[in-house]
Amino acid sequence: MRHGSRLGFAPQALGALLSLAIVLNIPAASSQSTEPTEYQLKAAFLFNFAKFVQWPSTSFTGPQSEFGICILGQDPFGKSIDDELHGKTIGEHPVTITRCKSLTEIGNCHIVFVSSSESKKLPEILATLKGSSALAVGETDGFAASGGTIQFTLEQQRVRFIINVDAAERARLQISSKLLALAKIVRDVPGNGKS
């Protein structure tokens, strides 16, 4: 995988990879536990995904412009994502969290988390994101196979993820082979209209 200049895979990515590996092995907590909740873990994943994805330079208006993480639909994270990502940066880009109620609000998003509340609108959402360089992340069954880039799953109470490499290629996103090695890989379902 080519190393990029703007958001390339630098030596600090090793620390991020270790963090991601640790997060992979933490069970999603029950309500009686002090372990991180499912959505605290997913917030950490979103941040760590950004460290292993290279966006086209045209995705940023300047070298220190904001890195937008957007939540489309009902927010399952609550305050946990704000707490988890407060003051964080991706490269030189400060991370911002935006809650979006409609597709018209996702124009400046680098990562779009599509809430399960939007499952009935998924074809429209993915069609709108087609041609953009947004990393589309969701948690509904079939999200990745339908054209989303990353889908969260729960396996034995642990948060895992599926990556659709065709969707990443369409969005002109370069995903580190280290991140791909931690994921289940899928491709678009034939005949679903993705190209």
pLDDT score of 30: 46
Using alpha carbons, select from 54, 39, 44, 65 the residue that is nearest to residue 176: 54
- Other Cβ atoms less than 10 A from the Cβ of 15: the count is 10
pLDDT score of 19: 56
pLDDT score of 147: 94
Report how far residue 33's alpha carbon sits from residue 130's, in angstroms, rounded to the nearest whole number: 40
pLDDT score of 134: 96
pLDDT score of 2: 34
Q: From 3.30.410, 1.10.3470, 3.40.50, 3.30.420, which CATH number describes the 12-184 domain?
A: 3.40.50
pLDDT score of 45: 94
* Per-residue pLDDT in tens (0 to 9) along the chain, 195 residues: 333 333 444 444 445 545 555 555 555 454 445 678 899 999 999 999 999 999 998 999 998 899 999 999 999 999 999 999 999 999 999 999 999 999 999 988 999 999 999 999 999 999 999 889 999 999 999 999 999 999 999 988 889 999 999 999 999 999 999 999 999 999 987 655 444
pLDDT score of 1: 34
pLDDT score of 195: 43
- Other Cβ atoms less than 10 A from the Cβ of 160: the count is 15
Using alpha carbons, select from 173, 174, 171 the residue that is nearest to residue 129: 171
pLDDT score of 189: 75
Q: What is the chain's alpha carbon radius of gyration, rounded to the nearest angstrom?
A: 16
pLDDT score of 27: 52
pLDDT score of 48: 94
Phi, psi of 72 (to 5 degrees): -100, 120
